[in-house]
Amino acid sequence: MQRTVLIGCGRISHKHIEAFARNAARMQLVALCDPLLHRAQAKAKEYLEAMVAVRAIASVSSAAPPRVYADYRQMLEELKPDMATIATESGYHPRIAIDCLNAGAHVICEKPIALSTKDADAMIAVAKARGRKLALCFQNRFNAPVQKARRALEAGRFGKLLHGMIQVRWNRNEGYYSQAPWRGTWALDGGTLMNQCTHGIDLLQWMMGEDAVRVQAATRRFSRPIEAEDFGAAIIEFASGAVGIVEGTACVYPTNLNETLSLFGTKGTVVIGGLATNKLETWRFADAEEYGDTEDKVLDSHAKNPPSVYGYGHGDLFADVLDSIETGSELLVSGERGRKALEIILAIYKAQKTGLPVELPCEYSTTEMAESYSLPGLEG
């Protein structure tokens, strides 16, 4: 049983609560931490309600609630947890993760791993030195259609992959940014590519070989009241010669539209769309008859979107980490793998700033954008 703490009780924390409850036989939430103590208290109650929903406890009143803290260092010192999950502002991930790892806890960190390659490397190095697991919340890797496409890829059914594309067409209005002023800042967040599109960029590079070598890009701040971009487009070249295309925006009117991953090979085509790469829309393979999975048998016209863009994957991701701790199996989304999407996004930022293609590996930070660069776009 992994004694677990949650650090950060904001917008995404409810997905961690759900994941704790789904894995209640293997992990126990012993404490929550947030500088705003009332948020931690609210999430402690939410956790008990989630445990009742999965029948892990009989009633909210039948179990003691997790402890709550405003200072995560005090929590680590007093409780010495086995695991910590981090759901804070992105810019705080490295400091908190390193403190947790040094305290002996395994870490599951929300995306992105960090806002600089240097900080990401530091996190990975400490995890290795301490013999702890460091996992990233790229939960869309666990979406059923994504897993199905991955199995087809590993079986060689695509033939030679030629190109792929990720489209993230969402809406993040002024209210989204005003309720949490750190959003859209270079110091703590980055823009649409780093926040909203990082899941899709991870999926794209994972499918295309995890070996990006060159990036070209154009980004804009069209209309949102933030420091960073609200639109980005990029071309990613991979070592195989395959090409990836990224289109991401927070300016879709009036609400979220879709997140779609498209993969094109010499012998196969797959499109996974829906709100958050959750719905299989195209499934065409040269060997479909042999496998018995022709498109008419595979596509589900009744498939529904999840209630939010966060999807359903956190529970499976947490289970994957627990498996790795218990059996030594390889993490599906380790710190090293989580770093790859970060590096691509930072290369996109550098390409926009310099106006030149950027070769990978690329050492960069969002703060380098803040020092001397203002995105073109509407200024009022």
Spatial distance between the Cα atoms of 222 and 250, rounded to a whole number of angstroms: 10
**In the chain, helix, strand, coil percent, each to 5?**
40, 25, 35
Peptide bond into 65 cis (omega under 30): no
Structural contact between residues 201 and 166, judged by C-beta atoms closer than 8 angstroms: yes
| pLDDT value at residue 304 | 73
| pLDDT value at residue 378 | 47
pTM for this prediction: 0.94
How many degrees, rounded to 5, is the angle at CA 334 between CA 336 and CA 35? Answer: 100
Return the structure tokens found at 237: 């070249």
Domains along the sequence of the chain with CATH: 2-139+314-334 (3.40.50.720), 143-306+338-372 (3.30.360.10)
Spatial distance between the Cα atoms of 241 and 208, rounded to a whole number of angstroms: 10
Spatial distance between the Cα atoms of 184 and 180, rounded to a whole number of angstroms: 9
Instruction: Find tokens 């997790």 and name the residue.
Output: 66
Spatial distance between the Cα atoms of 174 and 152, rounded to a whole number of angstroms: 41
| pLDDT value at residue 215 | 98
Spatial distance between the Cα atoms of 359 and 346, rounded to a whole number of angstroms: 11
| pLDDT value at residue 101 | 98
How many degrees, rounded to 5, is the angle at CA 306 between CA 300 and CA 311? Answer: 115
User: For 271-304, how does the pLDDT look when each residue is reduced to its tens digit (9 = 90+)?
Assistant: 999 999 999 999 999 999 999 999 999 998 667 7
Residues of the chain with pLDDT under 50: 372-373, 378-380
| pLDDT value at residue 60 | 87
In DSSP notation, 291-311 reads HT--HHHH--TT----SSTT-
Eight-class DSSP state of 179: T
| pLDDT value at residue 373 | 43
Tell me the backbone φ, ψ of residue 261, rounded to 5 degrees: -105, 125
| pLDDT value at residue 301 | 66
| pLDDT value at residue 372 | 39
| pLDDT value at residue 61 | 86
